[in-house]
Amino acid sequence: MSAAPPAPSPPRTLSVVVCAYTLDRWSDIEAAIESLRRQIRPADQIILVTDHNPELLQRARTAFPDVVCVPNADARGLSGARNTGVRTATGEVVAFLDDDAVADPAWADRMLGAYREPGVVGVGGRVVPLWKAHRPPWFPDEFLWVLGCSYEGLPVGRADIRNPIGANMSFLRRVFDRVGGFDATMGRLGKDAAGCEETEFAIRARRGDGARIVLEPDALCAHSVSPDRVTRRYFRRRCWAEGRSKALVSALAGAEAALETERAYVRRTLPRGVLRGLRQLLGGDLAGGARAWAIVEGTLLTAGSYLLARRRGPR
Average the pLDDT over 5-28 and give the result: 87
- Dihedral Cα 181, 206, 304, 137, nearest 10 deg: -90
pLDDT value at residue 2: 47
Q: How confident is the model at residue 243 (pLDDT cuts 50, 70, 90)?
A: very high
Structural domain includes residue 314:
no
Quick one: pLDDT at residue 313? 67
Which residues are CB-contacts of 34 (< 8 A; sequence separation ≥ 6)? none
Whether residue 6 is contained in a domain is answered as no
Residue 42 lies in a domain: yes
Q: Is the pLDDT of residue 195 over 80?
A: no
- CATH code: domain of residue 142: 3.90.550.10
- Per-residue pLDDT at 281: 95
Report the Cα–Cα distance between both ends of the chain, in Å, rounded.
56
pLDDT band, very low/low/confident/very high, at 255 (cuts 50, 70, 90)? low
The DSSP string of 245-286 is HHHHHHHHH-HHHHTHHHHHIIIIIHHHHHHHHHHHHHTT-H
| Total number of domains in the chain | 1
Domain that holds residue 214: 14-306
pLDDT value for 191 = 56
Asked if residue 259 has pLDDT above 90, the reply is: no
Residue 109 lies in a domain: yes
Position 258 scores a pLDDT of: 59
Residue 36 lies in a domain: yes
**Confidence at residue 185, expressed as pLDDT on a 0 to 100 scale:** 80
pLDDT exceeds 70 at position 39: yes
Between the CA of residue 274 and those of 239, 265, 310, what are the distances in Å?
17, 13, 27
With a pLDDT cut of 70, the percent of the chain lying above it is 92
> Which amino acid appears at position 67 of this protein?
V
Residue 263 has φ and ψ, to the nearest 5°, of -60, -50
pLDDT above 80: residue 6: no
Find the mean pLDDT for residues 65-86.
96
pLDDT in tens, 47-59: 999 999 999 999 9
Residue 39 lies in a domain: yes
Is the pLDDT assigned to residue 4 strictly greater than 50?
Answer: no
pLDDT given at position 3: 47
Mean pLDDT computed over every residue of the chain: 92
| Cα→Cα distances 165→127, 154, 157, Å | 8, 11, 15
Q: Is the pLDDT of residue 5 over 80?
A: no
Question: Is pLDDT larger for residue 189 or for residue 68?
Answer: 68
Strand pairing report for 212-225 and 120-131: parallel
Predicted pLDDT of residue 11: 86
- Residue 265, in any domain of the structure: yes
Q: How large a percentage of the chain has pLDDT more than 90?
A: 81
Asked if residue 208 has pLDDT above 80, the reply is: no
Q: What is the mean pLDDT of residues 138-162?
A: 96
Q: Tens digits of per-residue pLDDT, 79-132?
A: 999 999 999 999 999 999 999 999 999 999 999 999 999 999 999 999 999 999
DSSP code per residue over 46-62: EEEEESS-HHHHHHHHH
pLDDT at 237 over 50: yes
On whether residue 311 sits in a domain, the answer given is: no
pLDDT at residue number 254: 74
